[in-house]
Amino acid sequence: MYTESIQTEQHQRDIYASRGGVTAKIVPRRDPILYCDIDDSGVIDSPALQSYRKNGFLVVDKVFTQVEVNTFLQEMENLAGHHRRSGSDEAIVEAGSAEVRSVFRIHETSPLFKRVASDRRLASIAEQILNDRVYIHQSRVNFKPGFRGEKFYWHSDFETWHVEDGMPRMRALSASITLTENYPWNGPLMFIPGSHKYYVVCEGETPEENYKRSLRRQELGIPDDAHLRSLYSEGGIHTVVGKPGSVVFFDCNVLHGSSGNITPAPRSNLFFVYNALSNRVRSPYCDCPPRPEYLCSRKNVTPI
């Protein structure tokens, strides 16, 4: 265990210190949002890059066909069934039920999803925005079944990846492939536009193996009400609705979440996190051992 003096010294060096005795606050982001030029002639054009820089996310419709989506859905059910039988730690069940909430490390356990993770329709956009070679930091399929799909509370992914995984800087993004219709009422992804321009410091102490609780119901690494209200008053909320096969690219630090799903319509998605090779994780910024490899690629880092 670290001594208090070592922890204090670490937080002094850490420009994105959170938890561990620090006070909740909002501070300016210290990293670029776009690592490429705004007029970069890459896969996505200048207006799309400007939108991403302003809002922290970009929705691209009709990236994958319905035939592809149907194949993804079948593979998703195969993985869920396998993990239900095996009781693997890589499958997270909803708190209070046996419903599968997420299955992790799909880019390594599924040959199909391994190909999807390296698909140029996704990876080339990540490479353009991050202006680096990329690798998969984390992958998963998220289930939000009808009637019982639980919420994902407001959070910045980077706060957790930084504190618990040791991701040093904000040079990562996520690609979420919608597999089902996203309606306004079946728990779709929601963003606070512009929130990625700030870092929301959270209070609390991170216990060992916090992931065993947080992946089912996150209680640490979430902004307090006052800071959420402040960022909401500035940026509002954008709800992502649309057809299956769309992709939402979003910055690692943008605040996002989703409400529970009490409707009959499920809401599922594939989720791939692309991290810049120059931004590989280090030791966690908390007094805890690293999280398992299925949550954070630390040993098996393969550039795409």
- Report strand pairing: 172-178 vs 247-251: antiparallel
pTM for the whole structure? 0.92
Pairing of strands 247-251, 269-276: unpaired
Residues 301, 62, 238, 74, Cα dihedral to 10°: -60
CB contact set of 265 (below 8 Å; sequence gap of 6+)? 146, 180, 181, 183, 186
Q: Give pLDDT, residue 36.
A: 95
DSSP string, 69-112: HHHHHHHHHHHHHHHHHHT-TTEEEPTTS--EEEEE-HHHH-HH
Q: Detail the DSSP E strand segments found in the chain.
A: 25-28, 57-60, 91-93, 100-104, 134-142, 152-155, 172-178, 190-191, 198-201, 238-239, 247-251, 256-258, 269-276
Reduced to 3 states, what is the DSSP secondary structure of residue 8?
A: helix
Q: Which pLDDT score is estimated for 258? A: 94
Rounded Cα–Cα distance for residues 56 and 245 (Å): 20
Q: Is 272 helix (H, G, I), strand (E, B) or coil?
A: strand
pLDDT of residue 12: 52
Q: What is the reported pLDDT for 276?
A: 98
* Domains of the chain listed by start with CATH number: 4-279 (2.60.120.620)
The set of residues, in sequence order, having a beta carbon less than 8 Å from that of 160 and lying 6+ positions away, is 214, 221
Q: How far apart are CA 158 and CA 165, in angstroms?
A: 9
- In angstroms, rounded to a whole number, what is the distance separating the alpha carbons of residues 3 and 6? 5
What is the Cα 88 distance to its own chain's centre?
A: 21
Residue 105: predicted pLDDT: 95
What sign has the CA pseudo-torsion 35, 37, 38, 43? negative
- Each of the 304 residues of the chain gets a pLDDT tens digit; together they read 333 334 444 445 899 999 999 999 999 999 999 999 998 778 999 999 999 999 999 999 999 999 999 999 999 999 988 766 666 788 887 666 667 778 999 999 999 999 999 999 999 999 999 999 999 999 999 988 888 888 889 999 999 999 999 999 999 999 999 999 999 999 999 999 999 999 999 999 898 878 776 665 667 788 999 999 999 999 999 999 999 999 999 999 999 999 999 999 999 999 999 999 999 999 999 989 999 999 999 998 999 9
